[in-house]
Each structure stands twice: as C-alpha cells, then as structure tokens.
Amino acid sequence: MTLGLLTSEQVAEALGCEVAHVNMMAATHRLPGVKLGRSWRFPVAALARFLDEQATANLTLPVRAAQYTPPIKATKRGKPLPDLLQAMRDAGMSSEEQISLIFEAARKSKPQQ
C-alpha cells in the first residue's frame, strides 16, 4: 500500500530549495507535513493543495477606477457657534455666564429619558 508521502529531500528537490528550508517551513506549520521520528514526511495531496493555494494567493483582482464624487454641501442651520459666543461677549456676559447658558441650552435640547 502506497501512502503517497514524500521526504524532505524530495520536496526540496521539487521546490528547488534547501532541505533545511523545507524542514523549517514544516516545523513552523507553513508547509503541510508529518514528523515521524526525526524526519518529516509530506503527503502529496496536501502539498498539491498547498501549492495551488500559494499560486492563487498572489493573484490580484481587477480594481475599478476611482470615480470623482463631488463634495456634499452642508446646509446652514442656526448661527455658527463663534457668532453666538461673540454675541454673548458683546452683550457683556462673563465667561461663567456664557458657559452656564450653553450647558442649560444643551440640557434643554437633550431628549428626556
């Protein structure tokens, strides 16, 4: 009965690399293999799947060209904050009064729970 196993030497020859590199890849689980005693054995079917995955992993998918999207114009709602602060200063309000007024307005605008 043939199990379809390759040795490290056979895999290294097939991949065109050093035996030590094959053993290191197997030891770090980057190459599918089984350690039997001191040597590694590599199932042919698992190696074929691994090589197929590696070959297709580097394929790039076509990318659509970016399209120009014009910026969205925001509509103005109410007075901008700096104008409100300037109006408060012009009215002679102190910083403490300005802050308390801002917090009071924020509390009133927050929905009740």
pLDDT tens sequence for the chain (113 residues) = 457 899 999 999 999 999 999 999 999 999 999 999 999 999 999 999 988 888 887 777 677 777 888 887 767 666 556 666 677 778 887 878 877 877 777 777 766 65
Q: Helix, strand, or coil here: 43?
A: strand
Single out the residue of 47, 23, 17, 44 nearest to residue 35, CA to CA. Answer: 23
Spatial separation of the C-alpha atoms in residues 94 and 84, rounded to whole Å: 14
Pairing of strands 5-7, 34-36: unpaired
Q: How many CB atoms lie within 10 A of CB 83?
A: 10
> What are the start-end ranges of the H helices in 1-113?
8-15, 19-27, 44-57, 81-90, 95-109
> Environment class of residue 60 by beta-carbon count within 10 Å: exposed (0-12), middle (13-18) or buried (19+)?
exposed
pTM of the complete model: 0.50
